[in-house]
Amino acid sequence: MSEKKVKVGVVGAMGRMGQSIIQTILTQDDKANGARLEFFTASDVANHPGVGKECYPATRVTLNASSESVFEQSDVVIDFTPPGNTVVHAKYAEKHGASYIVGTTGLGDEDHQVLDQIGQAVCVVQAGNFSLGVNLMTAFSKKMAAVLGPEWDIEILEMHHKHKVDAPSGTAMMIGEAAAAGRGVNLKETAVKSRDGITGERQVGDIGFATLRGGSVIGEHEIIFASDNERLTLSHRAENRGLFAAGAVRAARWAAEQSKGRFSMMDVLGLSDFGV
């Protein structure tokens, strides 16, 4: 294992994902390859009651209200905050030279353009999902879409807890992008994200999405390939948020060894050239 220590900052540190990420950093496997991560600084919204106090048990890290200070003090910053923060945080990463791990979902075109831009100066790892299982599922979806062809209908189903604010989920879109890439088509031109009323027959080549919300479901995703004669299904269910935190921490360790560039979890896991 490398002796290099990397200072890691967490924005949105008091959220469910923020707390899970901090716990994962503090309990990381000593045998893991790559840089050793040190939980160094954290922030949350200015009116959070924890500002000015220790932000996680058994640490001396004080929660502050300035997200920029986190980027200024860190080698790598992990961000799972709402999408309205991404452009601002990306510019902080570029300004202070911090690698940027983005787990935020529901990003728009402007967000991606800014991430592309700052990837010319710092390392950016952005993914709709940091789970090892989901990324393997995504890679297989790309391969299957390429092999099966447009005569097989593709439908993507996802379910999350009732508090999730974006739909379809970033993971569902990631799987859809992979399937579209396998077919050599543009997802924006083939995606069908809602059906209501008299919709007419399904069009050949459509990639359909269905969204469910309810309860405390962490995340469930399924991609269905259906022909007139048979059906293939890949599915993934998250049992707890620890798998996302583990992936983000793995990405942070990997990013610490890169100089710059725009990457995904596929790159971290060595799956970017898989299948197709």
- Strand 220-226: give its sheet, edge to edge: 191-192, 207-213, 153-160, 220-226, 231-237
| Contact in structure between 265 and 101 (CB atoms under 8 Å) | no
Task: List the catalytic residue out of 164, 193, 236, 260.
Answer: 164
Catalytic residue among 142, 160, 221, 236: 160
Q: What is the dihedral of CA 178, 182, 187, 189, to 10 degrees?
A: 180
Nearest to 169 by CA among 218, 240, 227, 115: 218
160 noted as active-site residue: yes
Q: Among this protein's residues, is 162 annotated catalytic?
A: no
- How many residues comprise the chain? 276
149: left (phi over 0), alpha (psi -120 to 50) or beta: left
Query: How far apart (Å, rounded) are the C-alpha atoms in residues 79 and 18?
Result: 8
Query: Which positions are annotated as active-site residues?
Result: 160, 164
